[in-house]
Amino acid sequence: MVFIPFSNNGIKNNIESILKEATQGSLTIDKMTITLWTGIKLENVHYSQNDGRGESVSCVLPRISVSYYLLPIAFKHLIVKNIRLEQPEIALELSSAKPLHKEVGKEFSFDDLNRVLETIPYTVIIRNISIVDAHTVVALDNRQAVDCKGMNLSMNVSLKEEAVA
């Protein structure tokens, strides 16, 4: 049996909404394709955030692959084998100036992601996240401080489970 990749703007928009709710900043996804057996591919994902104090982050992710186990979907469980970010370009602009007061900003956290994932009608379990061939540039006060190419990272993920009474 062969499954042909397909695209669906409704699902793409839903994924964008989930990611936007879990993070602060601007996010766009150019293309999304789903292959039933393989998983989901997001192409040309752009993310940026500027805190207004001269600090910013921007990411260009040419491809994000999300592979999952198909059978558990029938039982309302989405078990993600791996989220793979391929060749991301990440730029961080930092400032050595100290802010007058710490603002409470919304930063990415797995707790926020877990909270957002709980709003969809599936139990979501993520097993692994990997980054392949990343390029990260860190600038401090408009001067390049770090330039890392070819970074690879793989991490096992476990979202905390709620205690059952």
Note the pTM of the prediction, 2 decimals. Answer: 0.71
Structure tokens belonging to residue 103? 């603002």
Separation CA 33–CA 91 (nearest Å): 27
For the stretch 21-57, pLDDT in tens is 767 788 888 888 888 777 889 999 999 988 777 788 9
Question: What integer is the mean pLDDT of 66-94?
Answer: 87
Contact between 58 and 91 (Cβ < 8 Å): yes
pLDDT confidence of 100, banded at 50, 70, 90?
very low
CA dihedral 50, 52, 53, 59 (to 10 degrees): 0
Question: Please, what is the average pLDDT of the chain?
Answer: 79
Q: What is the pLDDT of residue 163?
A: 43
Mean pLDDT across the stretch 83-100?
Answer: 83
Q: Is residue 99's pLDDT more than 90? A: no
**pLDDT at residue 164, rounded to an integer:** 43
Whole-angstrom Cα Rg for the chain: 18
Query: Could you tell me if 137 and 151 are in contact, meaning their C-beta atoms sit under 8 angstroms apart?
Result: no
Question: For position 114, what pLDDT does the model report?
Answer: 67
